[in-house]
Structures are given as C-alpha cells and as structure tokens.
Amino acid sequence: MPSIKGVSGGGDVPLVTGGPIIIGREINSSVGITSVSVAIVCAAGFLCYLFVSGEMCWTLAVTTVIGSIIAAPFAAITVRKVNTQKLGVTIGLVANYSWHLYYS
C-alpha cells in the first residue's frame, strides 16, 4: 500500500484541512491555507529529491504541474460556490474515510 499512497498523494489533505477548522478558522480559509502549505511542502520535497537523486522524469513532472495548474481554478471556484456547511460535512466525511483507508 505505501507505493499507491506515494503515487496518489496519500489522501491526508482532508485531515490537515480539518485542523484549522477545529481551531475556529472559516472553512474557505482552511482550504486555502492547506492548499498553499501543501504546495510549499511539495515544492520542497521536489527540490530535495532533485538535489539528492539528480534524476528526474521530466515528462511526468511537467504533466503533473500542468494538471495542477488546470485544477487550481476549479478548486477555488468550488470553495467559493459551495455552501460552507456542505463543504464542512464533505471535508469531515473525506477525512474520516481517508483515516480509515490509511489505518486499515
């Protein structure tokens, strides 16, 4: 299962998004904070991997970046248009499901 989690990203973003919500941040703000922090962590991981390994499948890297750039506006539109109550429930359900997948 670790190899699948490495390819798919692990599914921990809903768990991380729940943290700011629990301490009282607005749901939309929590999603934004999580998105920015995950992007920073991914960039740091990429640079560390490139520095240590020296090899990179640039085709995969470029297509992943293009996919992320295309997906980002849709995430922003979704967060803006979806009812915050429904968004909170969805984040909770996905976090619960992710936790069960990870620990089972």
Confidence of residue 4 (pLDDT cuts 50, 70, 90): very low
pLDDT at 102: 73
Structure tokens at 17: 């998004």
Structure tokens at 97: 């499901």
pLDDT at 11: 56
Model pTM?
A: 0.56
Percent residues over pLDDT 90 in the chain? 0
Q: State whether residue 9 is helix, strand or coil.
A: coil
Question: What angle do helix axes 84-103 and 13-22 make, rounded to 10 degrees?
Answer: 130
pLDDT at 8: 45
**What value does the mean pLDDT take over residues 68-93?**
78
pLDDT at 2: 38
Check: CB of residue 15 under 8 Å from CB of residue 98.
Answer: yes
Give the burial string for 70-93 (b: 16+ CB within 10 Å, else e).
Answer: eeeeeeeeebeeeeeeebbeebee
Q: Can you give the residue range of the structural domain that contains 55?
A: 2-103
- Number of independent structural domains in the chain: 1
Residue of 69 and 23 predicted with greater confidence: 23
* pLDDT tens column, 19-50: 787 788 887 788 778 877 777 877 788 888 88
Structure tokens at 96: 């619960």
